[in-house]
Structure 1
């Protein structure tokens, strides 16, 4: 492990990568503070206040000011292999189907992405979206490379080690690539097959999307999945819209079809991503609904089933049920909550005694869907409908007293999504998952999802208050140490999924299972007598009513800026520790040797 350092994270926003580095490096014993990259003068002020040993820049959209990198060691985290340069690293790699990719940590210099290399990490590149790859392989690789680079800082200071100039790395296969523009992303529906269209949309997922048109209206496409043409539409012309399903649209390609989950309309008063059928509600109403199969027949071909937000399966011996849900960016709209509620009701009717809730690979859940709320005729009314719907899901899980339930967090969880997980009897998370078990960052939102019942029963009243007031991300292993969740294991997604099923099978075949279920039912009954769940919900919703309909518009303002991705104007004080009143007098910082 590296010697303890004072590290300033300079970042465009506190995205998933920045959160992971903040939590992991702090857990490693480093002193970490955050500054958003707003203006050169702001960055210079932050550096003067904090006097860091090293500046780490995990996510930037512009160059670090020369006044900073010439005087202070500044390490840039670039989401590309050694030698790769330019702002569209992952975009090019995914669109051109690179077999492997990587992350490089390099020293900031005048030419962007061309400084000497401190560390790098390579990984196989899956057929996945840019956002999914960034949240998983890129983030894990960045953490490994940053740790390696930080371990070298003392030797670099002492002159015992030097980073490798890019020009001297003979085996670097990366190259300078320009910003990928929409001309390079363009879709030719008449001639392109599904694989190429999927690659192009996946390469633009998250941002900026692929410029295209639906119903003769300009829009950007996101969230693409493989599809098949339905019976009777096998010979539809490429580009034809064939059907709709759970917010997504099925569109014919030259050799098949793809599902388009989300779009951003150019002519809309809501210039942000929305489910495709919501963004084009009037235009899509005449398309046939192609229902998804919740529980597929044994041996069914996944390709035949197509895009599904929800899927239920059982182990061969019938002892274990697994309900999977995958919601884009972890956001759960009113309609999605109702579909999940129906799926839980279906699972309840099955003859199993252990049910695993297997959330999304990128996000377990982030709670209510702020985009669909913002787009509603009355955001306050839709906020209310959405929180009631997700509360119903939590209540359904708490009401499963005839079996044990397991929340399996493959991906990160935030706000109401954290407490949705706590509604299960066991909460297991993958190593590296980051949790944000609080609401206040969204305009001092009080929150519901029965958190006033679920959180104190796990950690106690005092710890619950501290967690909700902290506003900081929490590593899964830290959450386990605090008793917030039950366990954290599995270095990768595949390992985690396999171990979850193995552990759940042990629960399902435990001779004492019936006794455990009986104890659970007794505890729930006793809790209900002491204070009914309805009372917890009513008290939470009374506070939420003030957030949604009260005189303080903070929630509505925060939601608006979150959805519109407004530029940051200041760094929150819970992140910028160096801006706290009474911050210690900064110590002098060594100037970086001239390159």
Structure 2
């Protein structure tokens, strides 16, 4: 089937949809709605495709009537049947909904009012989840299930979608609600920590919640509940810091804030940064809550489990160095196997573009950042005492993928999407010139880096980019990885695996050679800006709308021209 993905951005859900549909044998092409300055240009682009089905897994724009009247056009809405509006997940989290859902419905004149093609319901986590984690987890899983059903029904000439008023509502109070306003999210620091955290998580990773801390108006993100607050501090006072986060007193406990930004409309940069870089108050160093810890290590027999927690996948220089301290200690243990993994909602996308953009000297900061993440990769590649397993727990891109490839064995959770290439005008480092060809061969490595297309977990396994794919459910995946790691502690398996690794390392140039060659190229990108890194970074950080749909995604275009 010829399918057009009409979307506002080629985000995680769009990428996952693209991968799944292509894997099922469909011809899939993409049009980014924001690049079309008028309905007429969008209509013209869709006419050029002439699809059999239009799917909109992530669309903030209204579909012109000339499109949905001519072609079956299905919107994937992140809410149960009857729910309407652009802030569905925000309300679901902030109001503590126990059950939520996803609905596939026809595009019509009124937003989210069309007849139903498919729907799914799922239980919400018992404690508040961030909007981004909800969207990329349960919502994305339900959306993919709906899309599979929609495609099957689209192939049936007798199928007619069911009007909403004729459909049962599994969430009876689902209804039309307006976009959540700033006032709806607002809180006072005298409120309970649990209520404050819930409101911030409902707005994370966008738009955040505007509040006042120590006399400064900021948007806050990445919140977690801390200990009981010292009574001598009034609510809203910074009482401690740890890593790059700050602890703020509330009505009962402390709330840790990992990220913040000074809004542009108040004269700030509008760039989201680690909160500790915005507030430099001389307060005591305190241990951060477990849910915000950047790196943790625990041991179970002969297996060590190292977990890194990277907000939104971006790894700053300081964070890489702190993670490296814990990783170095983990690699010095007398265990036989080390599992290197992310969390269920994030893995890594490499260097921290926001921190680089906000630096006094962005080129120098970028250089420090890439050398810091390279140390992590080198530590994993060079380890000869333990077998290392890189467990890709969530979507990963660029240097984050290459970081995982530095491990001896690489596994991925079913449903994650990898972007194993560099963009933004960067050559890339993270020892990728060694680890990527070692896994997939020189020809495939070159194709991945040049085509710049996402790869789902199963396709990654088919090309040996990863060694195995585990269950999609995060808890079951963790259990599966633990069983796999335990199997490698078998003395003979372990000895054979380490012997094989030593033979490989003796037959190649040392990791420092690859790092040096890559960094020589990166220096030209950072300091000479030979490929437009500064402008691309600025556009990314500023969330500028794309000016065109990349040819590599517009299959209808490159099939005609023969060029991506």
TM-score by length of 2: 0.95
Query: Is 474-483 or 59-68 further displaced after alignment?
Result: 59-68
SS of the counterpart of 2:430? coil
Counterpart pick for 2:528 among 539, 547, 550: 550
Q: Tell me the CA shift for residue 258 of structure 1.
A: 1.5
| Distance across 2 between alignment mates of 1:234 and 1:217 | 22
* Aligned equivalent of 1:184: 184
The alignment status of 1:470 with 2:451, answered yes or no, reads yes
Q: Tell me the CA shift for residue 340 of structure 1.
A: 1.2
Unmatched tracts of structure 2, length 5 or more: none
SS of the counterpart of 1:175? coil
* Aligned equivalent of 1:256: 253
Instruction: Please tell me whether the aligned partners of residues 13 and 57 of structure 2 are also in contact (alpha carbons under 8 angstroms).
Output: yes
Q: Tell me the CA shift for residue 508 of structure 1.
A: 1.6
Instruction: Please tell me whether the aligned partners of residues 197 and 224 of structure 2 are also in contact (alpha carbons under 8 angstroms).
Output: yes
| Distance across 1 between alignment mates of 2:198 and 2:259 | 16
| Distance across 2 between alignment mates of 1:565 and 1:510 | 51
SS of the counterpart of 2:350? coil
The alignment status of 1:243 with 2:240, answered yes or no, reads yes
> 1:363-382, aligned counterparts within 5 Å?
363-382=346-365
* Aligned equivalent of 1:50: 49
Q: Tell me the CA shift for residue 583 of structure 1.
A: 5.5
* Aligned equivalent of 2:327: 344
| Distance across 2 between alignment mates of 1:582 and 1:84 | 41
| Distance across 2 between alignment mates of 1:456 and 1:94 | 43
Instruction: Please tell me whether the aligned partners of residues 227 and 250 of structure 1 are also in contact (alpha carbons under 8 angstroms).
Output: yes
| Distance across 2 between alignment mates of 1:243 and 1:217 | 17
Q: Tell me the CA shift for residue 60 of structure 1.
A: 1.7
| Distance across 1 between alignment mates of 2:32 and 2:501 | 46
The alignment status of 1:359 with 2:355, answered yes or no, reads no
Query: Is 205-214 or 266-275 further displaced after alignment?
Result: 266-275
Instruction: Please tell me whether the aligned partners of residues 326 and 361 of structure 1 are also in contact (alpha carbons under 8 angstroms).
Output: no
Aligned residue pair count:
553
The alignment status of 1:135 with 2:136, answered yes or no, reads yes
Q: Tell me the CA shift for residue 227 of structure 1.
A: 1.2
Instruction: Please tell me whether the aligned partners of residues 330 and 360 of structure 1 are also in contact (alpha carbons under 8 angstroms).
Output: no
> 1:79-478, aligned counterparts within 5 Å?
79-126=78-125, 127-155=128-156, 158=157, 160-171=158-169, 173=172, 174-190=174-190, 192-229=191-228, 233-234=230-231, 236-266=233-263, 267=266, 269-281=268-280, 284=281, 286-291=282-287, 307-315=292-300, 318-439=301-422, 441-443=423-425, 445-478=426-459
| Distance across 2 between alignment mates of 1:170 and 1:19 | 31
| Distance across 2 between alignment mates of 1:64 and 1:565 | 22
In structure 2, the CA distance between the partners of 1:209 and 1:492, relative to structure 1 (3 Å rule), is same
Q: Tell me the CA shift for residue 210 of structure 1.
A: 0.6
Query: Is 406-415 or 261-270 further displaced after alignment?
Result: 261-270
| Distance across 1 between alignment mates of 2:491 and 2:113 | 58
| Distance across 2 between alignment mates of 1:541 and 1:45 | 44
SS of the counterpart of 1:388? helix
Q: Deviations over 1:547-566 (max 9, x none)?
A: 11225351111111111101
Q: Tell me the CA shift for residue 287 of structure 1.
A: 1.4
Q: Tell me the CA shift for residue 514 of structure 1.
A: 2.6
| Distance across 1 between alignment mates of 2:196 and 2:287 | 24
| Distance across 1 between alignment mates of 2:345 and 2:169 | 33
Instruction: Please tell me whether the aligned partners of residues 349 and 396 of structure 2 are also in contact (alpha carbons under 8 angstroms).
Output: yes
| Distance across 2 between alignment mates of 1:410 and 1:372 | 24
In structure 2, the CA distance between the partners of 1:462 and 1:553, relative to structure 1 (3 Å rule), is closer
Instruction: Please tell me whether the aligned partners of residues 44 and 68 of structure 1 are also in contact (alpha carbons under 8 angstroms).
Output: yes
In structure 2, the CA distance between the partners of 1:378 and 1:339, relative to structure 1 (3 Å rule), is same
Q: Tell me the CA shift for residue 234 of structure 1.
A: 5.0
| Distance across 1 between alignment mates of 2:73 and 2:497 | 54
Aligned CA RMSD, in angstroms, stands at 1.6
Instruction: Please tell me whether the aligned partners of residues 9 and 56 of structure 1 are also in contact (alpha carbons under 8 angstroms).
Output: yes
Q: Tell me the CA shift for residue 533 of structure 1.
A: 2.1
Q: Deviations over 1:100-128 (max 9, x none)?
A: 11110000001100000100111111131
In structure 2, the CA distance between the partners of 1:467 and 1:170, relative to structure 1 (3 Å rule), is closer
Query: Is 410-419 or 541-550 further displaced after alignment?
Result: 541-550
| Distance across 2 between alignment mates of 1:538 and 1:313 | 33
In structure 2, the CA distance between the partners of 1:404 and 1:65, relative to structure 1 (3 Å rule), is same
The alignment status of 1:508 with 2:489, answered yes or no, reads yes
* Aligned equivalent of 1:11: 7
In structure 2, the CA distance between the partners of 1:374 and 1:195, relative to structure 1 (3 Å rule), is same
Q: Tell me the CA shift for residue 184 of structure 1.
A: 0.8
Unmatched tracts of structure 1, length 5 or more: 293-302, 585-595
Q: List, as ranges, runs of 4+ consecutive aligned residues in structure 1 with deviation greater than 6 Å.
A: none
Q: Deviations over 1:176-206 (max 9, x none)?
A: 011110111111211x212211110010001
Q: Tell me the CA shift for residue 252 of structure 1.
A: 1.7
SS of the counterpart of 1:512? helix
Query: Is 356-365 or 489-498 further displaced after alignment?
Result: 356-365
SS of the counterpart of 1:580? helix
The alignment status of 1:497 with 2:478, answered yes or no, reads yes
| Distance across 2 between alignment mates of 1:516 and 1:454 | 17
| Distance across 2 between alignment mates of 1:340 and 1:368 | 14
